[in-house]
Amino acid sequence: MPRYEVLSEAQLLEIDRGWKRILSEIGIQFDHPDALELFRKAGQRVEGDVVFLDPEFVTAMVAQAPSEFTLHGRNPARQMHVGGDWMAFAPVSGAPFSSRRGVRREASFADHVDLCKLCQVFDELDTPASLVCEPNDVPMDSRHLQIQRNVLTLTDKPYMGASISGLATADSIRMAEIVFGSREAIEARPVMFVIVNCNSPLRWDTRMLEAMMTCAAAGQAPMLTPFLLMGAMSPVAIGAALAQQTAEAFSALALCQLIRPGGPVIMGSFLSNTDMQSGSPGFGGPESALGLLCSGQIARRYNIPWRSGGGGLTSSPAVDAQAGYESFNTLNSAFLAGASVVMQSTGWLESGLVASFEKFIMDIEIVKMLQVQYTPIEIDLAFDAHQEVGHGGHFLGAAHTLERFRDCFYRPMLSTTENWDRWTRNGQKDAYTRASDLVDRTLERWERPSIDDGVLLELDEFVARRTTELGD
Amino acid sequence: MPRYEVLSEAQLLEIDRGWKRILSEIGIQFDHPDALELFRKAGQRVEGDVVFLDPEFVTAMVAQAPSEFTLHGRNPARQMHVGGDWMAFAPVSGAPFSSRRGVRREASFADHVDLCKLCQVFDELDTPASLVCEPNDVPMDSRHLQIQRNVLTLTDKPYMGASISGLATADSIRMAEIVFGSREAIEARPVMFVIVNCNSPLRWDTRMLEAMMTCAAAGQAPMLTPFLLMGAMSPVAIGAALAQQTAEAFSALALCQLIRPGGPVIMGSFLSNTDMQSGSPGFGGPESALGLLCSGQIARRYNIPWRSGGGGLTSSPAVDAQAGYESFNTLNSAFLAGASVVMQSTGWLESGLVASFEKFIMDIEIVKMLQVQYTPIEIDLAFDAHQEVGHGGHFLGAAHTLERFRDCFYRPMLSTTENWDRWTRNGQKDAYTRASDLVDRTLERWERPSIDDGVLLELDEFVARRTTELGD
């Protein structure tokens, strides 16, 4: 289906002028000597820790990045195509709290396991990412090892490497080498992406740069993400935010291309607004939607894969009507914008602080709906059915209907069309309660994906050794 | 903002062939001798009560209908522009039940009054329509008089005349003559639209035809609406349903143009699907959305105003997450489709059986959001703000922000961005509970629109006399 384009060519040119001016006149701060050295060698002007980037150099680096690539799952049938006309979906990522059957609490390792299982069961998700919630009961220093082990053993899809530090990213890559056979294997066929957030405005910090450079060097896909809440990390104007987002993402993209020419990269976007009354972030409103639509146009202009912030965003603290319409707004906008990777598609609640199991189910339903909704239509005039039924009759028993009734329409998983009497007999379960039931039933459907015993042993030995080394 | 087009030119041509073939080969049943006579005189082939329409004749009648027109409110500042680039919004219509603060019951006159008041207060609604709910405690035969009196006295916007019978439509028109001064006044400046539903497939029944012809003769705007649930009133194929919808609507449009050449008409659409498992209607899913998007393209092709079925549709029995995402889906699709009149925008619940006060508030919030979302963007690069803040700072105190923070973003009415602690301190009110509170606060804001004492007296005398005549 076609994309929905809201910016005119003149407006796109204006935004182009904007990011070029930011890069060349204000520059980007890179808190890492290796990054500064790489840019210096590439002929860019470096003053202190600020790099002033030549727009022509940046444009050349962007053109050098692949317009599409594939991440390979442990299961060869699970591939994640990134870029081009593909859309891939990832669940909530990074939530410190979990919520299930009305209980909101610090997220735990058990929550992480169950959320990974949901990611494995639902074919709508191309990847579990990895940090579906923070397993707060696992010691911090070695937590990334347990998270990576979970996604590598409970799921068999392409996934996300750790990015809390360069060391954590290196550990992720080492674990991938164990599972996929060798460094050469994953360099030839990348298996993971790594989210790297900009310390917006206009600054990449040491920790993120180490993760980014480690990821790029290994031929995995860095997801270069300016996280912009207009009013806090960017000006309160969508044009300014888009120019800044492009400048920040492209500056990192250029660095990644210097490290590994032609290596896979994903332009990131996470653009919404600050609620200027409460000072809290606002997700799911018009600003989130416009951020998505505009970012898609910019990414297509440069023919590079891009991630949307969401998918599935809401500021609501409850899985209520607000969560329903805000989540739909961002997921639908991600479809209209043609996001290559829709992050935070399922389970995000309370501005991302909570991984909600019920919201996860609700968002899967929305993704299912939208996948049908944005499938190109085929025209069947069914003139014989009209001739058969004539005037004032009905089509329930028409031959055309009987041949097609099983799969002619979208069949909901969560939504109900029950009438009041039947709904009442069935306990007046609202969408939240029905989603709770579906969580339980879905977890029962999970099957452990097979893994070679020797590989599992080596993985566990690595995790044990590194856990000891990291001092937990 | 641009419309979103899902049908190709070839597909539109295919649908054109479809409706022309239905009209010319199967024909439309008209259960009224006057209608048959008008078609016969216009050279159309009539066999029994079936009219076989010449596509060229129909196309000429469609071309004769105005592409846009204005309905005038009792308050001259309240105009409803129909067609062209305008979108007008109307609330739920025809619900037999009401629901408020958790109580679902047969709708009453008191509910009708309160819903009319909400329609008057919210500027997002261009019209209260009229049957915002069924006032079941008013005797059936004279109910339309009380309904018309309510919309004429509790609101001052353009509105909807009664269509339960030709007599009821005639009473509506007489009441409009009293309020607006004369028959000539309302013929010169129409004040109402009248929904006329097709007895699909391919049949217009006596009662609807009398309402339609009475409305058209008085120069008011008939809204000619095929009500198609695929699988029941139309084949289980969107192309077939679109061809049928166009055939049905155009057949009535041709009749209206024969009665009053150049008179205002609105092409209707109410296209969704039957849930083939439950047999219940399904609203708010992909089929509803595609029905809207495609209908918009067809109406634009013929340059005529059209109504969308909804706006605000859901099959959910509760104002829950499902109601949130389904309602958003249909309202958003109505925007993308550029519906001239969005019926059922606010308050529709339980497949239209219930007028929910809380859903009304929720839908107003969605309409507000979408009005901002689909306002063309202006690009402001705010380069000075970037220069001021530099690397790693924040924009909360930037001059650019301080000048704009009050109205730079959408300010929600119902949605919350409160963090957990604050939300908990405020009573953990979900969207439903907050909407209940907003219903009360909104009703307090209602002010009776002024009306001339003499006019009110005449109106009340008419209602009293007709009530007696109608035997209640």
Q: Tens of pLDDT along B231-241?
A: 999 999 999 99
Distances (CA, A) of B368 to B78, B277, B311, B445: 18, 35, 13, 18
- For an interface test with B, the pick among A314, A391, A420, A426 (most B C-beta atoms closer than 10 Å) comes out as A391
CA-based nearest distance A84→chain B, Å: 20
Residue type, B73: G
CA distance A31 to A198: 11
For chain A, the distance separating the N- and C-terminal CA atoms, rounded to the nearest angstrom, is: 51
CB spacing of A235 vs B401 below 8 angstroms = yes
CB spacing of A386 vs B289 below 8 angstroms = no
CA-based nearest distance A470→chain B, Å: 30
CA-based nearest distance A91→chain B, Å: 18
Residue of chain B whose Cα is closest to the Cα of A237: B380
Whether B393 is in a domain gets the answer no
Please give the average per-residue pLDDT across B369-386, as a whole number. Answer: 96
Whether B285 is in a domain gets the answer yes
Model confidence band, residue B471 (pLDDT cutoffs 50, 70, 90): confident
Q: Which residues of chain B are within 8 Å of residue A107 when distances are taken between CB atoms?
A: none
CB spacing of A432 vs B320 below 8 angstroms = yes
Q: Which residues of chain B are within 8 Å of residue A315 when distances are taken between CB atoms?
A: 415-417
Q: Which residues of chain B are within 8 Å of residue A292 when distances are taken between CB atoms?
A: none
Q: Please enumerate in sequence order all residues whose Cβ is within 8 A of that of B251, keeping only pairs 6 or more positions apart, or say none.
A: B23, B28, B30, B51, B53, B58, B204
Give DSSP secondary structure letters for B370-388.
HHHHTSPP-----HHHHHH
pLDDT at B472: 62
CA-based nearest distance B78→chain A, Å: 27
Whether B406 is in a domain gets the answer no
Q: Which residues of chain B are within 8 Å of residue A278 when distances are taken between CB atoms?
A: 417-418, 422
CA distance A395 to A451: 51
CB spacing of A237 vs B395 below 8 angstroms = no
Whether B43 is in a domain gets the answer no
Q: Please enumerate in sequence order all residues whose Cβ is within 8 A of that of B338, keeping only pairs 6 or more positions apart, or say none.
A: B3, B85, B87, B296, B300
Retrieve residue A307's tokens.
């991630």
Considering Cα of A195, then A197, then A202, then A207, what sign does the dihedral take? negative
pLDDT at B360: 98
Retrieve residue B463's tokens.
């209602």
pTM of this structure:
0.98
* Beta carbons of A212 and A196 less than 8 angstroms apart: yes
* Beta carbons of B307 and B340 less than 8 angstroms apart: yes
CA-based nearest distance B296→chain A, Å: 15
CB spacing of B416 vs A238 below 8 angstroms = no
pLDDT at B453: 97
* Beta carbons of B131 and B163 less than 8 angstroms apart: no
List the CATH number of the domain containing B234: 3.20.20.480
CA-based nearest distance B156→chain A, Å: 30
CA-based nearest distance B22→chain A, Å: 8
CB spacing of B285 vs A415 below 8 angstroms = yes
Residue B250 has pLDDT above 80, yes or no: yes
Q: What are the pLDDT digits (tens) for A349-397? A: 999 999 999 999 999 999 999 999 999 999 999 999 999 999 999 999 9
Distances (CA, A) of A239 to A147, A304, B39: 38, 20, 57
Please give the average per-residue pLDDT across A107-112, as a whole number. Answer: 98
Please give the average per-residue pLDDT across B300-305, as a whole number. Answer: 97
Q: What are the pLDDT digits (tens) for B69-107? A: 999 999 999 999 999 999 999 999 999 999 999 999 999
The stretches of B218-356 forming alpha helices (DSSP H) are 238-259, 286-302, 321-337
Model confidence band, residue A310 (pLDDT cutoffs 50, 70, 90): confident
- For an interface test with A, the pick among B244, B379, B436 (most A C-beta atoms closer than 10 Å) comes out as B379
Between chain A and chain B, the number of residue pairs with CB atoms below 8 A apart is 405
CB spacing of B286 vs A370 below 8 angstroms = yes
pLDDT at A247: 98
Partner-chain residue, chosen from A202, A370, A432, that has the shortest CB–CB distance to B321: A432
Partner-chain residue, chosen from B318, B411, B415, that has the shortest CB–CB distance to A430: B318
Retrieve residue A198's tokens.
């900009």
Residue of chain B whose Cα is closest to the Cα of A407: B276
Q: What are the pLDDT digits (tens) for A401-411? A: 999 999 999 99
Whether B173 is in a domain gets the answer yes
Q: Which residues of chain A are within 8 Å of residue B1 when distances are taken between CB atoms?
A: 6
Q: What are the pLDDT digits (tens) for B142-198? A: 999 999 999 999 999 999 999 999 999 999 999 999 999 999 999 999 999 999 999
Partner-chain residue, chosen from A238, A353, A395, that has the shortest CB–CB distance to B233: A395
CA distance A74 to A180: 7
* DSSP summary character for residue B142: G
CB spacing of B381 vs A239 below 8 angstroms = yes
Partner-chain residue, chosen from A4, A205, A318, that has the shortest CB–CB distance to B4: A4
Please give the average per-residue pLDDT across A307-323, as a whole number. Answer: 95
pLDDT at A344: 97
Measure the CA dihedral A136/A138/A141/A147, to 10°.
-90
**Residue B97 host element (H or E):** strand B97-100
CA-based nearest distance B325→chain A, Å: 5
Residue of chain B whose Cα is closest to the Cα of A318: B430
CB spacing of B320 vs A244 below 8 angstroms = no
Residue of chain A whose Cα is closest to the Cα of B286: A373
Whether A393 is in a domain gets the answer no
CA-based nearest distance B99→chain A, Å: 13
CA distance B100 to B436: 7
Q: Which residues of chain A are within 8 Å of residue B428 when distances are taken between CB atoms?
A: 317-318
CA distance B207 to B228: 19
Whether B66 is in a domain gets the answer yes
Partner-chain residue, chosen from B25, B377, B386, that has the shortest CB–CB distance to A244: B386
CB spacing of A289 vs B362 below 8 angstroms = no
The number of domains in chain A is 1
Considering Cα of A307, then A311, then A317, then A319, what sign does the dihedral take? negative
Measure the CA dihedral A438/A443/A444/A445, to 10°.
90
Residue of chain B whose Cα is closest to the Cα of A13: B379
Please give the average per-residue pLDDT across B439-453, as a whole number. Answer: 98
Residue of chain B whose Cα is closest to the Cα of A282: B417
CA-based nearest distance B109→chain A, Å: 23
Partner-chain residue, chosen from B231, B236, B280, that has the shortest CB–CB distance to A417: B280
Q: Which residues of chain A are within 8 Å of residue B376 when distances are taken between CB atoms?
A: 6
Please give the average per-residue pLDDT across A254-267, as a whole number. Answer: 98
CA distance B274 to B66: 34
Burial (0-12, 13-18, 19+ Cβ within 10 Å), B180:
buried
Whether B421 is in a domain gets the answer no
Partner-chain residue, chosen from B289, B290, B400, that has the shortest CB–CB distance to A236: B400
- For an interface test with B, the pick among A417, A418, A419, A421 (most B C-beta atoms closer than 10 Å) comes out as A417
Q: What are the pLDDT digits (tens) for A59-102? A: 999 999 999 999 999 999 999 999 999 999 999 999 999 999 99
Burial (0-12, 13-18, 19+ Cβ within 10 Å), B368:
buried
pLDDT at B1: 85
CB spacing of B406 vs A373 below 8 angstroms = no
pLDDT at A184: 98
CB spacing of B417 vs A275 below 8 angstroms = yes
CB spacing of B394 vs A199 below 8 angstroms = no
CA distance A360 to A121: 12
Partner-chain residue, chosen from B29, B378, B408, that has the shortest CB–CB distance to A392: B29
Q: Which residues of chain A are within 8 Å of residue B235 when distances are taken between CB atoms?
A: 380, 382, 385-386, 395, 398, 400-401
Partner-chain residue, chosen from B236, B322, B326, that has the shortest CB–CB distance to A408: B236
Q: Residue B184 belongs to what domain range?
A: 62-373
CB spacing of A325 vs B322 below 8 angstroms = no
Residue B277 has pLDDT above 90, yes or no: no
pLDDT at A472: 62
In the sheet that holds B50-52, the strands lie side by side as: B45-47, B50-52, B28-30, B203-204
| Mean of all residue pLDDT scores within chain B | 97
